[in-house]
Amino acid sequence: MGEAVEGKIFVVDDDAAVRDALSVIFDMEGYGVRTFADGDQFLNALKTEGPACVLLDVHMPGKSGLDILKSMDVGTFPAPVFIISGQGDIPMAVSAIKAGATDFIEKPFDAETVVMRVREAIASYGRHQANGVAAMNFPGAEHLTPRERDVLQEITGGASNKEAGRKLGISPRTIEVHRARIMEKLGARNAADLVRIVLTAHTGEHG
């Protein structure tokens, strides 16, 4: 079986140089890679194939990364979706995370960091599917994406943004965005509130 890793990485970017660079990086790590120059090609491929991870450029002619995220219903998508953004696209990348993307990767990117973060995100999604959603049965849990559940688990376990980011392979800034989104979805005012919501579910039978 060699070094092959299960699943393909889908790279969606109108810049051929970025597509080629990412193909080489992941190919060397044993991942299969499929590249797409625009969102429509990618969305068509999704009808017949499920990627292990998606790397999606936020700023493309035609459909933007945000448009594509909405079309693919990223909240229920079973694989992590990373947004590739240039320096000027950071606000758009943050909007993409609010829309359900896992994290963003800034150009120019460091090959080792990209591989590490993608590998950790794929592993984290795999764990979710193995464990099912049973562990989180408090009101509102069903509205959280797999990544938000991961972040919530870290926060309620007492991790700082930096520690949670290191564990999940995403940046502390992305943890902050997820945290704000989780609090909004669960109606929590602060971190203590979040812990209370989650713990109450586990001790509900005592009162």
Q: Which domains does the chain have, with CATH numbers?
A: 1-131 (3.40.50.2300), 133-207 (1.10.10.10)
Average pLDDT for residues 65-82, to the nearest whole number? Answer: 85
Q: Which of 69-73, 77-81, 88-92, 101-105 is predicted least confidently? A: 88-92
pLDDT band for position 131 (cuts 50, 70, 90): low
For residues 40 and 67, give the distance between their C-alpha atoms in angstroms, rounded to a whole number.
Answer: 10
Is pTM beyond 0.75 here?
A: no
pLDDT of residue 43: 93
pLDDT of residue 11: 96
For residues 15 and 91, give the distance between their C-alpha atoms in angstroms, rounded to a whole number.
Answer: 20
Percent of the chain predicted with pLDDT > 90: 28
- Cα-flanking dihedrals φ and ψ of residue 20, to 5°? -65, -45
> What is the Cα 103 distance to its own chain's centre?
5
pLDDT at 205 over 70: no
For residues 201 and 138, give the distance between their C-alpha atoms in angstroms, rounded to a whole number.
Answer: 5
